[in-house]
Structure 1
Amino acid sequence: MHIIKVIAVVAAALSLSACGSKFRTYNGPEVTRVYVDKSERRMYLIHHDRVLKQYPIQLGFAPAGHKQFEGDGRTPEGHYLIDKRNPNSKFHLSVGISYPNENDIARALAMGRDPGGDIFIHGGPQRGSSANAKSDWTWGCIAVSDREMEHIYAMVRDNTPIYIAP
């Protein structure tokens, strides 16, 4: 009888831990592009011409204009690709954006600056952080809630085009 109780407790613990996983599955239509509207603070996951999901976003702490160089606090604008995934991001989960491209590098170098990099779509600020989840707080990334990031991470594949509009 004791062994049955132990098995039941272990089974319950395993099923609960699976519910708490940050890794979700997605079996719906392919996300063929991501569209970010900086002025509206919205991100759209799109399958051809149909919006599958949309999310409110936070941006770099100096959101107006295209990212010029490392440390300017701006979020890039233009055409890029989702180019990497980070399951161990300090911001829950993240997917990388292929900034800087050749034009970004040339523009920054012409100013004698480093273009920067490591631009991601990622989860919200860490618990205990002074960042306000309702205002722009990143160093140029695009932030969503942790729960939203779990869905984005499952839905968006590497090499998906992303357009970031002013």
Structure 2
Amino acid sequence: MSIPSKAERALLSHDELKAVAATHHPAIYDLDRSELRDLQKQLRSERGKARTLARQKRREVRGKSDARGKSFPGTAEQPLKRKQVFANALKRVNREIERLETVEARTAHVEAAHRALAKLRAAKFASPPSDKTASQGMQLRESTKRRQTLPRSKVGSVLKANNVAQAIRDARPN
């Protein structure tokens, strides 16, 4: 459930309100990643304090524990709402950090794809070396063997001769 900014001003102190206000729509885009990380740590600690206070108040109401300290500050009347304000602000910061990481990953992937495409295009249009030169490593040499072609009329007789020779070998005693 979202909490209006006016209610946030009523629930938080000036310093806390400054931190939470930095997480709202136009202001959050001005922060870089390190500032967002610092703000995330601060909001987590504030949320933890508010959570602890809310749990303590709940225990006091149920009669499970005594009141802690002499008295709580004036902002402790609604500890659950305060915790909710910090939790919502933390969610906004986490989403913004995730969005920044996604954008960075996407740009990295696009750049890698562009580099791969450039390499592929360069490889397609590369001309082979014109002649054999020294210090170029192993070079492909054209085969000097002539390809033997068998006339079609002989193919069948050669196969038949192989079959006969195999049959003779198979017929021998071991």
TM above 0.5, one fold? no
Larger strand percent = 1
Greater Cα radius of gyration, structure 1 or 2: 2
Instruction: State the TM-score, normalizing by the size of structure 1.
Output: 0.23
Instruction: State the TM-score, normalizing by the size of structure 2.
Output: 0.23
Larger helix percent = 2
